[in-house]
Amino acid sequence: MDFINKDIQDYSASHTTQASELLEKIDRETHLNVLRPRMLSGHVQGRILSMLSHMIRPKRVLEIGTYTGYSALCMAEGLDSKGELVTIDINEELEPLVQKYFDESPYTDQLKYLIGDAMQLIPTLNEKFDLVFIDADKVNYSNYFDLVINKVTQGGFIIADNILWSGKVTSTPKANDKDTKALIEFNQKVHEDSRVENVLMAVRDGLMILRVL
């Protein structure tokens, strides 16, 4: 994931507003105690998610892929005062830890944490979302997009993480693992979809931001 110049990353982080004590705790404890801590959004990306959420002021947010709750709490910072964030994850082993973090946050009453297969749970959500964050299994990114596109309000946003996949999406010849293939196909698919406009941000592991037209 660290394919962007480290000095640039460090400079960017040092000139980015500090995260809350709870978020710093989640970051620290995730790296100490949880497998694959690189899955955590981290400081700069977390502040970007918070900033975008503050700009959008969403009433409804859907997150696909909770992990340890860091990104959910970042986006919750910008929620409308009566808004709700629904976050889905398939890893039930992390549920007690994540719920503890959510209960410690000032947004606990605005968070709805669902454990299960997002492919099955998303169709049961009969509501519209102003912001959707996709950060789960890469092979299903296109499927998640198909499931949520009609659940996003006009002018709403979809953000997809890990779009550059440690730079593998640009490798020559293209990497042939299933995750890289899926992300290359997703990037092209949404880029050619007339229902959205998109910008790919070379931040951390890549963020694709889509605005639903």
Distance from C-alpha of 93 to C-alpha of 90, rounded to nearest angstrom: 9
Q: 72 in a domain, yes or no?
A: yes
Rg (CA), the chain: 16
- Residue 174 is predicted with a pLDDT of 64
Question: Do residues 107 and 73 make contact, with C-beta atoms less than 8 angstroms apart?
Answer: yes
- Which CATH number fits the domain that encloses residue 23? 3.40.50.150
* Domain assignment of residue 201, yes or no: yes
| Domain interval for residue 37 | 6-212
The predicted pLDDT at position 1 comes to 60
DSSP 3-state of 114: strand
Average pLDDT, the chain: 95
Angle between helices 43-56 and 6-14 (to 10 degrees): 50
Residue 194 inside a domain? The answer is yes
Is the residue at 13 inside a domain? yes
How is residue 126 written in tokens? 């009969």
- Please count the structural domains in the chain: 1
159 lies in some domain: yes
In a domain, 1, yes or no: no
8 A C-beta contact, residue 102 and residue 79: no
**pLDDT tens digits, residue range 20-39?**
999 999 999 999 999 889 88
State pTM to two decimals: 0.95
